[in-house]
Amino acid sequence: MSFASEFKEFAMKGNVVDLAVGVIIGAAFGKIVDSAVKDLVMPIVGRIFGGLDFSNFFVMLADPPAGYDGPMTYDALTKAGVPLFAYGNFITVAINFVILAFIIFMMVKQINRLKREAPPVPPAPPAPPPEDVLLLREIRDALRK
């Protein structure tokens, strides 16, 4: 079997295609959750805690370059090349993960519930025995008498 045909057989298996679709949908879903956390949840959490912006929670690990007079925000300092310990971004990503994990858990829970509620499929009636088997049974029964 050539390398190309072997690769084609591998790539066209149902599991590989299903996995690829799952990864693509998962990446898109991750972006939606990221936006929901960043644009909806974190502003509310920040407002509840007195206007905190978690994205600007960081510790500078070095001084800004000489002559730097820009703002002391995460984005500006990162662009200036200052190493930062950005624990605020980590908090945001952790909240992101918790929300995503909760949504996935609820989806799997619903799918499992729907699978349990599906009515069982009755087994198909057994096929009648072939004619030659019926004839042999008749002969056997006649010989027993």
State residue 101's pLDDT score.
Answer: 82
Which residue numbers in the chain have pLDDT < 50? none
What is the reported pLDDT for 139?
Answer: 92
Per-domain residue ranges for the chain?
A: 3-52+86-123
Structure-block tokens of residue 145: 């008498």
Give the count of beta carbons closer than 10 Å to the beta carbon of residue 88.
19
Angle between helices 14-36 and 3-11 (to 10 degrees): 50
**Residue 54's pLDDT is what?**
74
Fold type of domain 3-52+86-123: 1.10.1200
CA dist 14 and 20 (Å) reads 10
Tell me what pLDDT residue 4 has.
86
Per-residue model confidence (pLDDT) at position 14? 66
What local confidence, expressed as pLDDT, does residue 83 receive? 92
